[in-house]
Structure 1
Amino acid sequence: MTSSHDQILSGIVPPLCTPLTPSGEIDTTSLVRLAEHLLTGGVDGLFVLGSTGEVAFLTDEQRGIVIETVVHAVRGRVPVVAGVIDTTTPRVIPHLEQAAALGATAAVATAPFYTRTHPAEIEKHFRLLASATELPIVAYDIPVSVGTKLDAGLVTRLAQDRVIRAVKDSSGDDTGLRQLILSTSEAETEDFAILTGSELTVDAALSFGADGAVPGLGNVDPAGYVRLFEAARADDWDGARAEQERLFALFGLAKAGDTSRMGAASSALGAFKAALHLLGVIDCPRVSDPYIPLDAAETAIVAAHLEKADLL
């Protein structure tokens, strides 16, 4: 691992779920409790308004409530990075302004989506974002959602020019992740951080040289991912593998939903929220419309995974 104290992010930085009330409003009390749950687990930062935070479903006002609530709750103990995810550059910039005004440490942006873009246009997008704010920009590589994989050469150029200061790689492409780590290392990009978005291959990514992880399952078991990271940092790769394998089994809860009646995202997000509800962290496991909530039988599957992992 190549973590530096000058990096804006490293270690375990979970992407927070966004707790909702039964009527679909932001449950700020539960959100504060969730932030404290993660901090107690020893995490190194918090990422609000990512995919796990259901950012695409929230109004601009709700996004602001999430950022303001978490920044106030954290009180500078760890970095709070905020997703500013939207379809095109002119739509992202107001989210950047909101995140800066509310005290976020950095902003997380994807490539443009819905509209088709050329790599040169993606590069222009990130350069325009960087020129529009003093917040550090974290590139979010999530091709399953935006339809575009960020090229290692593009990311390296942007890192060299300090247009972006980190990348969250949720591509699921371990070969591409390794190429990116090698490319940025050879280019001697200053204090650039690479974090994996995978819950299941964190030990492998850290062995490649990644600087940390942004695991959605970290909402449920933050301390487990912190133990994994600390073992890797100590070159205890057997310990890191053992912790990863325990978390791999725990991640089975994400498949609790019946695929004949809901999609994978409903199942995973519903399971994370059901787990947090069972653990007493959030008051309500509601997911955003049109996601479908878990039923009692599916929630029982989540509970069984928590019990097997000695969390419940």
Structure 2
Amino acid sequence: MREALAPGVWGVVATPFQGSTLDLDTDSLARLVEHYESIGATGLTVLGVFGEAAALTAAERSLALEVVVEETRLPLVVGVTSLFTGTAVEEIRAAQAVAGDRLAAVMVQANSARPEVVIAHLNAIHQSTGAKVVLQDYPVASGVGISTEALIYVVQACKFVVAVKAEARRPVWPSLNCRPPSTSRCSAGWEVKGCWTSWWLAPPAP
């Protein structure tokens, strides 16, 4: 049976910087995390595209995650910057070492337009780390465009995918055969939550 992320609002955490050298601003990061928890966020998404993860060194990513873990007990989805399986596994293991059982899932970008390539990538990641996956479709950041049909095919093949975060330049809802309110249901049976440009797909309740 497929698991899903806990329902509710998952705050997307920005990574603040300071000074002319753009050092990581850990105090501001801590306050942001505290704010999300104070307003009732279900969990946090850390080191995603909005979190500037691709611009951070491995040491900076680790430090940012350490700050988040110290400031909150909320479950975490941690972004993975690499499109390559080996380095993605290294990033995930580093996140697991810091977050431990607080790691609800890792957010992995689709690395190919070909669903069989994405499936092989995700299977290798899951087999190596045991991590649950939020599959991210963000062609502006990844440079990879994948059709909605291919995305659904990947999810159906990978039972450890607990959500999909779709931020495609095209509206995804026509291909999903659903209307674009804040919550709808697509033809694959998944619940679609979000706005016109960013969507979370959650598997149906058992």
Normalising by structure 1, report the TM-score. Answer: 0.54
Deviation at 1:105, TM superposition (A): 2.3
Instruction: Work out whether 1:44 is the aligned partner of 2:48.
Output: no
Corresponding residue SS for 2:141: helix
Query: Residues 1-312 of structure 1 correspond to what in structure 2 (within 5 A)?
Result: 7-22=4-19, 23-75=21-73, 78-103=74-99, 104-112=103-111, 118-146=114-142, 147-159=144-156, 161-172=158-169, 173-175=171-173, 178-179=176-177, 181-185=185-189, 195-196=193-194, 198=195
For 2:122 and 2:174, how far apart are their aligned partners in 1? 20
Equivalent position amino acid for 2:108 in 1: A
Give the drift of 1:93. Answer: 0.8
Give the 3 Å change call, closer, same or farther, for CA 61–169 of structure 1 in structure 2: same
User: Kindly tell me: are residues 170 and 128 of structure 1, through their superposed partners in 2, closer, same or farther at Cα, counting changes over 3 Å?
Assistant: same
Q: How many residue pairs end up in the alignment? A: 188
SS of structure 1 residue aligned to 2:78: strand
- Aligned AA (2:117): E
Distance 1:60 1:11 in 2: 30
Structure-2 change in CA distance of 1:85 and 1:194 (3 Å): farther
Contact 1:167 1:195 in 2 (8 A): no
Query: Which secondary structure state, in structure 2, belongs to the residue aligned with residue 140 of structure 1?
Result: strand
Q: Deviation digits for residues 167-210 of structure 1, max 9, x if unmatched? A: 1111142325734952431xxxxxx77554x4x678xx79xxx5
Alignment check: 8 A CA contact 1:9 1:193 kept: no
Change (3 A) 1:150 1:101: farther
CA contact (8 A) 1:140 1:168 kept: yes
Question: In 2, are the aligned partners of 1:166 and 1:194 still within 8 Å (CA)?
Answer: no
Q: What letter is aligned with 1:20?
A: F
**Percentage identity across paired residues of the two chains:** 26
CA offset digits 1:106-145 (Å, max 9, x no partner) = 1101022xxx663321221111111111221110111222
In the alignment, the residues of structure 2 paired with residue 176 and residue 55 of structure 1 have an alpha-carbon distance, to the nearest angstrom, of 31
Could you say if the C-alpha distance between residues 145 and 96 of structure 1 is closer, same or farther in structure 2, counting changes exceeding 3 Å? Answer: same
Provide the rounded CA distance (Å) in 2 between the counterparts of 1:195 and 1:59. 32
What code does the residue aligned with 2:48 have?
A: G
Distance 2:174 2:122 in 1: 20
Whole-angstrom distance in 1 between the partners of 2:122 and 2:42: 25
| Counterpart contact for 2:114–2:150, Cα < 8 Å | no
CA distance in 2 between counterparts of 1:179 and 1:166 reads: 18
TM-score (norm 2): 0.78
Give the distance between the partners of 2:166 and 2:56, measured in 1 at CA: 23
Distance 1:179 1:95 in 2: 35
| 1:184 alignment partner, SS class | coil
Segments of structure 1 that go 5 or more residues without pairing to the other structure are: 1-5, 186-191, 212-312
